[in-house]
Amino acid sequence: MKIEEQPTTVIAVAHLIGRVEQFRKGGFRLVQMNATQVGDEFEINYSFEKDYRFENLRLIIPAETEVPSISGMYWGAFVYENEMHDLFGIAVKGMNIDFNGNFIRTKVRYPFRNPTFQGEGPCQRK
């Protein structure tokens, strides 16, 4: 049994601001933003919720695309946008608080792009 329906709409980068504005006006709150690497492309999910109704917007973009910031509408979005930039190297334009890549300081640049691992293998042989 599904706990809840989670409709996802795939949209183009140009329509992002307009759609987010609609959610903002409709009284939705921002639940989260995240990025996923699928092949050479990135999927960026913007999740919103109102009265336990969960909705999701998705951008599918090539690696070097710049996405506009939604921090003008949702002030708190800067944590997700900075995180996305630091971990995936997705350029976000117009953030209200831009840490310039210093929000999460990591050993390698953009570590989630091509995850690397330390040498040791598994503890158990299978």
Partner 1 sequence: MTYLKRSPWIIHYDASSCNGCDIEVLACLTPMYDVERFGIVNTGNPKHADIFVVTGSINEQNREVVKNIYEQMPDPKVVVAVGICAASGGVFRECYNVSGGIDKIIPVDVYVPGCAARPESIIDGIVKSLSILEEKRTKMNSPAAKKDTQSGGIQ
Partner 2 sequence: MSKKIVVPFGPQHPVLPEPIHLDLVLEDETVIDVVPSIGYIHRGLETLVAKREFTEYVYVAERTCGICSFIHGMTYCQGVEQIMDLEIPARAHYLRTIWSEYSRLHSHLLWLGLFADAMGFENLFMNSWRLREFVLDVLEETTGGRVIQGSCKVGGVRRDISDEKLAAMAGDLKSFETELSDLSEVFLHDDSLKSRLVGVGTLSRTDAYDLGAAGPVARGSGVAIDLRKTGYAAYRELRFEPATESAGDCYARCAVRIRELFSSIDLIRQAVETMPEGEIEVKVKGMPDGEYFSRSEQPRGELVHYLKGNGTKHLVRSRIRTPTLTNVPSLVKMLQGCELADVPVIVLSIDPCIGCMER
Give the binding site for partner 2 (CB under 8 A).
Answer: 1-4, 6, 29-32, 34, 36-38, 45, 47, 52, 54, 56, 74-76, 78-80, 83, 97, 99, 102-106, 111-112, 115, 117
Interacting residues of 46 by C-beta distance below 8 A, sequence separation 6+: 16, 20, 30, 33, 56, 57, 58, 59, 70
Number of residues lying near partner 1 (CB under 8 A):
10
Cβ atoms of 83 and 103 within 8 Å: the answer is yes
101 touching partner 1, by CB under 8 A: no
Letter for the amino acid at 63?
A: A
Residues 6+ apart with CB under 8 A from 56: 6, 7, 8, 9, 45, 46, 47, 48
Task: Please choose, out of 11-19, 45-53, 72-80, 106-114, the segment that lies near partner 1 by the rule CB under 8 A.
Answer: 106-114
Member of 105, 124, 125, 126 binding partner 1 (CB under 8 A): 105
Least separation in angstroms between CB 76 and partner 1: 23
For every residue of 25-38, DSSP letters joined together read HTT-EEEEEEEEEE
Q: In the complex with partner 2, which residue's Cβ is closer, 29 or 93?
A: 29
Write out the residues near partner 1 by the rule CB under 8 A: 105-108, 111, 115-118, 120
